Amino acid sequence: MKLKRLFDPADMDATGYENLEIKGLTRDSKVIKEGFLFFASKGMSKDGKDFIDEAFKKGAAAAVIDKEIKNKIGPCFLAKDFEKTVNIISKIFYGDPSSFLYCAGITGTKGKTTVSYFLEKAFLDFKLKPAVIGTVNYRAMGKIIYPAPNTTPSEPLLSEILRSFLDMGCASCIMETSSHALALKRTENVNFDAALFTNLQSDHMDFHKTRKDYAQAKRKLFKSLSESSKKNKIAVINADDEAADLMASACSEDIKIIFYGTKKEGDIRAENIVEKPEASYFDIKIEGKKTESASLKMIGEHNIYNFLAAASLLYAKGFAVSEIIASLGNFSQVPGRLEKIESSLGFYIFIDYAHTEQSLISVLKALRKSGPKRIITVFGCGGNRDKSKRAPMGKAACELSDLVFITSDNPRTENPQSIIKDIEEGVKDRFSNYSKVTDRKEAIFQAVKEAKKGDFILIAGKGHENYQIIGNEKIKFDDKETAMEAMDKQGKI
């Protein structure tokens, strides 16, 4: 595609290079190929402009920059509004792919990944040919296509991925939309058909600074839905959450809003909830009238909410409640979300992504309802991230567990022992049921050694992640594999 064709709609001047052929777009100098347009700007930790020479040496045709630079070795064009320019160019180059897909965005502190898996299961059952962009990976019609560098990728990668989904024959895309992505305008090119809100808890305060800013970032998904040119748009909102009205207030009159929950009256409501070790049972009341029985092969009230979120969108799309219950009720496992390992000695290990105070509380309460003799918790907190949640997470773990191993998560460039010290501020002089074990593998091994018949071990914080970030290095580490190794070496498989 000619540079002028890309630049004119973005109000960029291509004088002298109008006929330059652009063969690809990227922000990553490592993937530059002959004829690519390189987008270079200052990021969170690196400045793309530092890699412009490398990009041109690899064959980049031109670069779009956010600030003037000296000693350019190739054509560089300054963008007045860098992110807007990237979005416009990406949309043109890849042919506005979201306009040809049914796009459902999911936002909320917790539950996005599980809701995406629920919807993927139902969309597959109902022949809607789904793709998924999310925290665990990116998938097309049930098959893993890409690893997930981010929950929601930025442009031009997002449009490139959506275009590839179309080329693979997908008809819909279920997208986890993180607060970072919404705040940074990563999804502004997406023409949404539906938006779902799960809940609002305290998280990412290192980025958003205040809970109000965090909530406003989530609200942007519903504003985007209002601005979408699609017809028959749907908003699905957790009626029980304090931010429900805030999300609904962003919806235009042409959007059908479905409220769900277990407490307040809504369009879809779960009642008569019974939680057992093997499953959750409840009744679904539809629009205050019709009631149908449902079951879920997952434990925890939070998973009932996730079920309801997915069910609400499917109901609004016109699927029969009985079909929805049958599809979602058969789903049993999300990677790293209360993922269960059973020992022949009669104890269970659960791997979960819980990494905030509220999510840890929810998971521990859900496990307690299943009647374990003891709950043994292994957890830590990430480095270079929101420090305000460390002490509260320690308090929650010790209050709701019988034994706690405080350990490392992804310490990054922070001292792991300093992070543990911050966590201990919430438990010191108040609890005695915890130990500090800096090495995460050793902490998991000690928890398994401690486990007896009837006990539950919760390994929290990393979930599906198969790495640990120590310093600036990402090393291979998997909680599930480590737990299995500990069970094997201790004769507790």
CATH number of the domain that 307 lies in? 3.40.1190.10
**pLDDT value of position 325:** 97
How many domains in the chain? 3
User: CA-to-CA distance for 199 and 260, rounded, in angstroms?
Assistant: 11
Same domain (yes/no): 104, 80: no
From the CB of residue 373, how many other CB atoms can be counted at a distance below 10 Å? 13
User: CA-to-CA distance for 108 and 197, rounded, in angstroms?
Assistant: 5
Provide the 8-state DSSP code for 100.
Answer: G
258-297 pLDDT per residue, tens:
999 999 989 999 999 998 878 899 999 999 888 899 999 9
Q: By the 8 A CB rule, do 296 and 307 touch?
A: yes
User: CA-to-CA distance for 324 and 125, rounded, in angstroms?
Assistant: 10
Same domain (yes/no): 354, 384: yes
Of 75, 93, 111, the position where a domain reaches its end is: 93
- Indicate whether 334 belongs to any domain: no
CA angle 286/290/292 to nearest 5° reads 85
Same domain (yes/no): 319, 388: no
The boundaries of the domain holding residue 343 are 339-489
CATH number of the domain that 85 lies in? 3.40.1390.10
Of 47, 78, 93, the position where a domain reaches its end is: 93
Of 93, 109, 136, the position where a domain reaches its end is: 93
- Indicate whether 347 belongs to any domain: yes
User: In this structure, which amino acid lies at residue 135?
Assistant: T
Helix, strand, or coil (residue 273): strand
Sign of CA dihedral 6, 9, 12, 16: positive
Q: By the 8 A CB rule, do 202 and 212 touch?
A: no
Same domain (yes/no): 194, 274: yes
Cβ density class 74-106: b for 16+ within 10 Å, e for less: ebbbebeebbebbbbbbbbbbebbbeebbbbbb
Q: Does pTM top 0.85 for this prediction?
A: yes
| Residues 243-260, mean pLDDT to the nearest whole number | 98
Same domain (yes/no): 287, 166: yes
Same domain (yes/no): 87, 173: no
Same domain (yes/no): 111, 56: no
- Indicate whether 325 belongs to any domain: yes
- Indicate whether 127 belongs to any domain: yes
Where is mean pLDDT largest: 145-149, 176-180, 379-383? 379-383
User: In this structure, which amino acid lies at residue 342?
Assistant: E
User: CA-to-CA distance for 41 and 365, rounded, in angstroms?
Assistant: 45
Instruction: Report the percentage of the chain scoring pLDDT > 70.
Output: 99
Same domain (yes/no): 208, 279: yes
User: CA-to-CA distance for 458 and 336, rounded, in angstroms?
Assistant: 11
Same domain (yes/no): 117, 176: yes
Give 363: exposed, middle or buried? Use CB within 10 Å, 0-12, 13-18, 19+. Answer: buried
Same domain (yes/no): 442, 454: yes
CATH number of the domain that 455 lies in? 3.90.190.20
**pLDDT value of position 209:** 73
30-79 pLDDT per residue, tens:
999 999 999 999 987 899 999 999 999 999 999 999 999 988 889 999 99
